[in-house]
Chains A and B, each alone.
Chain A
Amino acid sequence: QVQLVQSGAEVKKPGASVKVSCKASGYTFTTYAIHWVRQAPGQRLEWMGWINPRNGNTKFSQKFQGRVTITRDTSASTASMELSSLRSEDTAVYFCAREGCNSVSCQHDYWGQGTLVTVSS
Protein backbone atom coordinates (compact mmCIF):
# COMPACT_ATOMS: atom_id res chain seq x y z
CA GLN A 1 0.00 0.00 0.00
CA VAL A 2 1.09 3.57 -0.68
CA GLN A 3 2.69 5.26 2.31
CA LEU A 4 4.45 8.54 2.90
CA VAL A 5 6.36 8.60 6.18
CA GLN A 6 7.78 11.88 7.38
CA SER A 7 10.60 12.67 9.76
CA GLY A 8 9.96 13.66 13.35
CA ALA A 9 9.12 16.92 15.06
CA GLU A 10 11.68 19.71 15.15
CA VAL A 11 12.30 22.69 17.38
CA LYS A 12 14.36 25.47 15.84
CA LYS A 13 15.52 28.94 16.79
CA PRO A 14 14.64 31.98 14.68
CA GLY A 15 17.02 32.36 11.76
CA ALA A 16 17.85 28.67 11.59
CA SER A 17 16.89 26.17 8.87
CA VAL A 18 14.87 22.98 9.07
CA LYS A 19 14.82 19.97 6.77
CA VAL A 20 11.84 17.61 6.71
CA SER A 21 11.98 14.33 4.85
CA CYS A 22 9.22 12.21 3.29
CA LYS A 23 9.91 8.57 2.49
CA ALA A 24 7.62 6.98 -0.08
CA SER A 25 6.78 3.31 -0.39
CA GLY A 26 4.26 1.12 -2.17
CA TYR A 27 4.65 2.70 -5.61
CA THR A 28 7.29 3.80 -8.12
CA PHE A 29 8.69 6.98 -6.56
CA THR A 30 9.62 8.66 -9.84
CA THR A 31 6.12 8.36 -11.28
CA TYR A 32 4.32 10.91 -9.09
CA ALA A 33 5.09 14.48 -8.04
CA ILE A 34 5.52 15.24 -4.35
CA HIS A 35 4.05 18.45 -2.97
CA TRP A 36 4.68 20.18 0.34
CA VAL A 37 1.82 21.82 2.22
CA ARG A 38 1.92 23.44 5.63
CA GLN A 39 -0.70 24.32 8.24
CA ALA A 40 -0.09 26.83 10.99
CA PRO A 41 -2.05 26.25 14.22
CA GLY A 42 -5.75 26.78 13.56
CA GLN A 43 -5.08 27.98 10.03
CA ARG A 44 -5.75 26.85 6.47
CA LEU A 45 -3.66 24.50 4.39
CA GLU A 46 -0.97 26.42 2.49
CA TRP A 47 0.81 25.09 -0.58
CA MET A 48 4.58 25.56 -0.61
CA GLY A 49 5.87 23.84 -3.72
CA TRP A 50 6.46 20.57 -5.51
CA ILE A 51 9.10 18.40 -7.08
CA ASN A 52 9.07 16.03 -10.02
CA PRO A 53 11.08 13.10 -8.66
CA ARG A 54 11.87 11.88 -12.17
CA ASN A 55 13.97 14.87 -13.14
CA GLY A 56 14.23 16.97 -9.97
CA ASN A 57 12.35 19.94 -11.43
CA THR A 58 10.72 22.11 -8.81
CA LYS A 59 8.18 24.91 -8.52
CA PHE A 60 7.51 27.01 -5.48
CA SER A 61 4.84 29.32 -4.21
CA GLN A 62 5.96 32.90 -4.65
CA LYS A 63 5.54 33.35 -0.89
CA PHE A 64 8.38 30.92 -0.18
CA GLN A 65 10.58 31.59 -3.20
CA GLY A 66 14.18 31.98 -2.09
CA ARG A 67 13.58 30.41 1.31
CA VAL A 68 12.51 26.88 0.41
CA THR A 69 14.41 24.07 -1.26
CA ILE A 70 12.88 20.76 -2.28
CA THR A 71 15.11 17.85 -3.23
CA ARG A 72 14.78 14.16 -3.84
CA ASP A 73 16.89 11.04 -3.45
CA THR A 74 15.56 8.48 -5.89
CA SER A 75 17.73 5.71 -4.46
CA ALA A 76 15.98 6.18 -1.12
CA SER A 77 12.53 7.10 -2.52
CA THR A 78 12.67 10.19 -0.35
CA ALA A 79 11.76 13.81 -0.92
CA SER A 80 12.93 16.55 1.41
CA MET A 81 11.91 20.13 2.06
CA GLU A 82 14.27 22.64 3.63
CA LEU A 83 13.03 26.00 4.87
CA SER A 84 15.57 28.63 5.84
CA SER A 85 15.59 31.89 7.79
CA LEU A 86 12.92 30.55 10.09
CA ARG A 87 10.67 32.92 12.01
CA SER A 88 7.95 32.33 14.56
CA GLU A 89 5.29 32.48 11.84
CA ASP A 90 6.79 29.33 10.31
CA THR A 91 5.61 27.29 13.28
CA ALA A 92 3.31 24.79 11.59
CA VAL A 93 2.69 21.19 10.68
CA TYR A 94 4.37 20.40 7.37
CA PHE A 95 2.85 17.73 5.14
CA CYS A 96 4.13 16.00 2.04
CA ALA A 97 1.52 14.75 -0.41
CA ARG A 98 1.66 12.67 -3.55
CA GLU A 99 0.00 14.12 -6.63
CA GLY A 100 -1.91 11.59 -8.67
CA CYS A 101 -3.19 12.58 -12.10
CA ASN A 102 -5.58 11.12 -14.61
CA SER A 103 -6.54 12.45 -18.01
CA VAL A 104 -8.50 15.41 -16.64
CA SER A 105 -7.39 16.19 -13.11
CA CYS A 106 -4.59 16.06 -10.58
CA GLN A 107 -5.11 15.69 -6.86
CA HIS A 108 -3.22 14.94 -3.65
CA ASP A 109 -4.22 11.33 -3.18
CA TYR A 110 -1.84 10.30 -0.38
CA TRP A 111 -0.45 12.39 2.46
CA GLY A 112 2.30 12.01 4.99
CA GLN A 113 1.42 12.08 8.67
CA GLY A 114 2.76 15.61 9.12
CA THR A 115 5.80 17.02 10.89
CA LEU A 116 5.46 19.70 13.54
CA VAL A 117 8.09 22.40 13.25
CA THR A 118 8.23 24.81 16.17
CA VAL A 119 10.23 28.02 15.86
CA SER A 120 10.99 29.54 19.22
CA SER A 121 13.81 31.39 20.89
Chain B
Amino acid sequence: SSELTQDPAVSVALGQTVRITCQGNSLRSYYASWYQQKPGQAPVLVIYGKNNRPSGIPDRFSGSSSGNTASLTITEAQAEDEADYYCNSRDSGDIVFGGGTKLTVL
Protein backbone atom coordinates (compact mmCIF):
# COMPACT_ATOMS: atom_id res chain seq x y z
CA SER B 1 0.00 0.00 0.00
CA SER B 2 1.10 3.60 -0.47
CA GLU B 3 2.13 5.94 2.29
CA LEU B 4 0.98 9.33 3.54
CA THR B 5 3.68 11.81 4.48
CA GLN B 6 3.29 14.52 7.12
CA ASP B 7 5.74 16.96 8.63
CA PRO B 8 6.70 15.61 12.07
CA ALA B 9 6.26 18.92 13.88
CA VAL B 10 4.76 22.34 13.28
CA SER B 11 4.40 25.34 15.57
CA VAL B 12 2.05 28.30 15.51
CA ALA B 13 1.71 31.43 17.60
CA LEU B 14 -1.47 31.73 19.62
CA GLY B 15 -4.19 33.29 17.47
CA GLN B 16 -2.36 32.75 14.20
CA THR B 17 -3.12 30.42 11.29
CA VAL B 18 -1.37 27.13 10.63
CA ARG B 19 -1.55 24.63 7.79
CA ILE B 20 -0.73 20.96 8.24
CA THR B 21 -0.18 18.95 5.07
CA CYS B 22 -0.44 15.32 4.06
CA GLN B 23 0.99 13.95 0.83
CA GLY B 24 0.42 10.65 -0.91
CA ASN B 25 -0.68 9.05 -4.14
CA SER B 26 -3.89 7.71 -2.62
CA LEU B 27 -5.05 11.32 -2.17
CA ARG B 28 -5.42 11.64 -5.93
CA SER B 29 -8.33 9.19 -5.68
CA TYR B 30 -9.65 9.49 -2.12
CA TYR B 31 -10.35 12.30 0.30
CA ALA B 32 -8.26 12.52 3.43
CA SER B 33 -9.73 12.54 6.89
CA TRP B 34 -8.03 14.39 9.74
CA TYR B 35 -7.85 13.35 13.39
CA GLN B 36 -6.74 15.21 16.48
CA GLN B 37 -5.13 13.18 19.24
CA LYS B 38 -4.17 14.51 22.65
CA PRO B 39 -1.88 12.55 25.01
CA GLY B 40 -3.51 9.47 26.46
CA GLN B 41 -6.70 9.94 24.46
CA ALA B 42 -8.33 8.34 21.45
CA PRO B 43 -8.21 10.21 18.14
CA VAL B 44 -11.06 12.58 17.34
CA LEU B 45 -12.28 13.20 13.79
CA VAL B 46 -11.99 16.91 12.93
CA ILE B 47 -12.29 17.08 9.13
CA TYR B 48 -13.56 14.64 6.53
CA GLY B 49 -14.53 14.58 2.88
CA LYS B 50 -14.09 17.70 0.80
CA ASN B 51 -14.25 19.98 3.86
CA ASN B 52 -16.70 18.72 6.45
CA ARG B 53 -16.61 19.13 10.21
CA PRO B 54 -18.34 16.74 12.60
CA SER B 55 -20.75 18.25 15.07
CA GLY B 56 -18.87 19.97 17.88
CA ILE B 57 -15.68 20.73 15.95
CA PRO B 58 -15.00 24.49 15.86
CA ASP B 59 -15.21 26.23 12.50
CA ARG B 60 -11.59 27.35 12.82
CA PHE B 61 -10.75 23.87 11.47
CA SER B 62 -10.98 23.49 7.70
CA GLY B 63 -9.68 21.16 5.02
CA SER B 64 -8.66 21.34 1.40
CA SER B 65 -7.06 19.16 -1.23
CA SER B 66 -5.10 19.54 -4.45
CA GLY B 67 -3.53 16.74 -6.43
CA ASN B 68 -1.69 14.44 -4.06
CA THR B 69 -1.79 16.84 -1.11
CA ALA B 70 -4.44 17.34 1.54
CA SER B 71 -4.26 20.19 4.04
CA LEU B 72 -5.75 20.90 7.43
CA THR B 73 -5.90 24.59 8.31
CA ILE B 74 -6.49 25.95 11.78
CA THR B 75 -7.27 29.67 11.86
CA GLU B 76 -6.80 31.66 15.06
CA ALA B 77 -5.18 28.68 16.77
CA GLN B 78 -6.01 28.19 20.43
CA ALA B 79 -3.97 26.65 23.20
CA GLU B 80 -6.32 23.66 23.26
CA ASP B 81 -5.45 22.90 19.63
CA GLU B 82 -2.00 21.69 20.71
CA ALA B 83 -2.07 18.00 19.82
CA ASP B 84 -0.95 15.39 17.31
CA TYR B 85 -2.78 15.48 14.00
CA TYR B 86 -3.08 12.47 11.71
CA CYS B 87 -4.41 12.19 8.20
CA ASN B 88 -5.69 8.99 6.67
CA SER B 89 -7.30 7.82 3.47
CA ARG B 90 -8.37 4.72 1.68
CA ASP B 91 -5.84 3.01 -0.53
CA SER B 92 -7.75 0.47 -2.60
CA GLY B 93 -9.40 -1.64 0.08
CA ASP B 94 -6.95 -0.71 2.82
CA ILE B 95 -6.61 2.31 5.10
CA VAL B 96 -3.36 4.22 5.37
CA PHE B 97 -2.39 6.74 8.05
CA GLY B 98 0.15 9.51 7.89
CA GLY B 99 2.97 9.64 10.39
CA GLY B 100 1.35 12.42 12.36
CA THR B 101 2.21 16.09 12.96
CA LYS B 102 2.83 17.40 16.44
CA LEU B 103 1.33 20.88 16.65
CA THR B 104 2.77 23.23 19.25
CA VAL B 105 0.89 26.45 20.05
CA LEU B 106 3.35 29.06 21.27
Question: Which residues of A does B touch, CB under 8 Å?
Answer: 35, 37, 44-47, 50, 59, 61-62, 95, 97, 102, 104-109, 111-114
B99 touches A107 (CB 8 A): no
B86 touches A109 (CB 8 A): no
19 sample A-B contacts, Cβ–Cβ < 8 Å, listed by A number: A44-B86, A44-B98, A44-B99, A45-B37, A45-B86, A45-B100, A47-B97, A50-B95, A59-B93, A59-B94, A95-B43, A102-B49, A104-B31, A104-B49, A105-B50, A106-B90, A108-B33, A108-B35, A108-B88
Which of A46, A59, A61, A108 is the most central at the interface, judged by chain B CB atoms within 10 Å of its CB? A108
A47 touches B95 (CB 8 A): yes
Bin chain B's interface residue count: 20 to 34
Chain B residues 64-106 with CB under 8 Å of chain A are 86, 88, 90, 93-100
A109 touches B1 (CB 8 A): no
B33 touches A105 (CB 8 A): yes
Chain A interface mostly helix, strand, loop or mixed?
Answer: strand
Question: Which residues of B does A touch, CB under 8 Å?
Answer: 1, 30-31, 33, 35, 37, 42-45, 48-50, 52, 54, 86, 88, 90, 93-100
A-B pair count, CB < 8 Å, reads 60
Listed from nearest, the 4 A-B pairs whose CB atoms lie closest are: A107-B48, A105-B49, A107-B33, A47-B95
Shortest B81–chain A CB gap in Å is: 19
A57 to B35 alpha-carbon distance, docked (Å): 26
A46 touches B42 (CB 8 A): no
A35 to B30 alpha-carbon distance, docked (Å): 18
A105 to B90 alpha-carbon distance, docked (Å): 9
B contact residues around A50 at 8 Å (CB): 95
When C-beta atoms are compared, the residue in chain A nearest to B50 turns out to be A104
A38 to B39 alpha-carbon distance, docked (Å): 15
A114 to B37 alpha-carbon distance, docked (Å): 12
Among A62, A104, A109, point to the contact of B45 (Cβ < 8 A). Answer: A109
B42 touches A114 (CB 8 A): yes
